[in-house]
Each structure stands twice: as C-alpha cells, then as structure tokens.
A and B are shown apart, each in its own frame.
Chain A
Amino acid sequence: AQSVTQPDIHITVSEGASLELRCNYSYGATPYLFWYVQSPGQGLQLLLKYFSGDTLVQGIKGFEAEFKRSQSSFNLRKPSVHWSDAAEYFCALSGGSNYKLTFGKGTLLTVNP
C-alpha cells in the first residue's frame, strides 16, 4: 500500500521568509512524487514533480523540492514567500502502471504581511 503524510496541517510564515513544507511517503519502490497547490474553490496546479535523476527538482513560482530516499521525504521549499503563495499545498504519490494518485492531507499556508 502507498501513503503520503504531510505532518503540518497549517503553517504561518511572514512575507519574505523562507518556507519548507514537509512530505513523507511510504511505497515499496521509487515513486513518482508531485506537489500541487490549490487556491480556495479552485482546482489543482502542479508545482513540480520527481521521477528519477537529480534529487533536487525545480518548479514553478520559485518552488523547489528535494527527494531523499533515505528519509522517504519530498519536502517543498521556497526561499522567500510572497503573499500570493497563501493556499493549500498537497503532496502526492503515484506508483506503478495504474497512474493512481495518493494525496496527503494537505498543508494550509498562511502568509502574514
């Protein structure tokens, strides 16, 4: 069985501060990993994805994530947060040929001015 854990339900940061959102996964092989962002009442926007190769992946809007196999983690980072980054962030995992995505419970990001 595959699972995704996002330990932080809600994080608050000040605008301009750095950000790290945690994601841990459980899967028997190397998974495909994704980070999505969702604004209220909206669909999902893909921030970045990891399949293989370089463990540090760059995404849109200045986000990056690092895949650490030894820690089963895929944490999302941004060096300087903007007020427009306030949203819900979901880590997701896909493995095998069925393309099914398993989502974490999400982390709500609040950005203080």
Chain B
Amino acid sequence: EPEVTQTPSHQVTQMGQEVILRCVPISNHLYFYWYRQILGQKVEFLVSFYNNEISEKSEIFDDQFSVERPDGSNFTLKIRSTKLEDSAMYFCASNGGANTGELFFGEGSRLTVL
C-alpha cells in the first residue's frame, strides 16, 4: 500500500540552528501539507502546497518556515532558525485531489530544540 514517508524520525537541534524535515508523499498525489502537533495536543495546520506553490498557510508559518518540492518527489519543510517552541511532532500529509477526502499522513518527525 502506498504511504507517505518522513525523515528523520527524530532530530535534536540547538536553538538557532536550521532544520530540514523531509517527506516523500504518495507518488500520484497533488496536494501536500505540513501539520505539527505539540506534545500530543492539537494537530495544527502549517501550510498546504499545490502546483509548486503555497496554497495556504497559517499564522504559525512565519518567515522562519519555508517549503520546497525540489525534485518532484521530496517535499521539505525548513525551519531557518529554530526556537524552543518549535519542538513538536511534524507531520507531512498528501492528498490526491482537493475533494477526494482522505489525507494520508506520514508517521511524523519529532523535533526537539534545546
């Protein structure tokens, strides 16, 4: 069964460092998303991406964040200068089309900022 894969599964970094989280969405999907979940709490929308550009982003997704689909298969989330409050589980998700319903999630990348 096709699945969304994310790497790394866990990353520990120092405050102020840059972090790149990687995702490989399901190959024929068109819409890509990043969500984050802080310590088992609410799943918060960060950004959606379609046709090589951001479709929508939340207030959380400030100038420290960026997304890229560099090679047609990977979908990356970059945090330019991490803060303590960026510590969370980051989930990538993909969807075959805006109205097909199901978001397929990866297993998440846990980011710990010290």
A and B held together in a complex: no
B: which residues have CB within 8 A of A?
none
A: which residues have CB within 8 A of B?
none
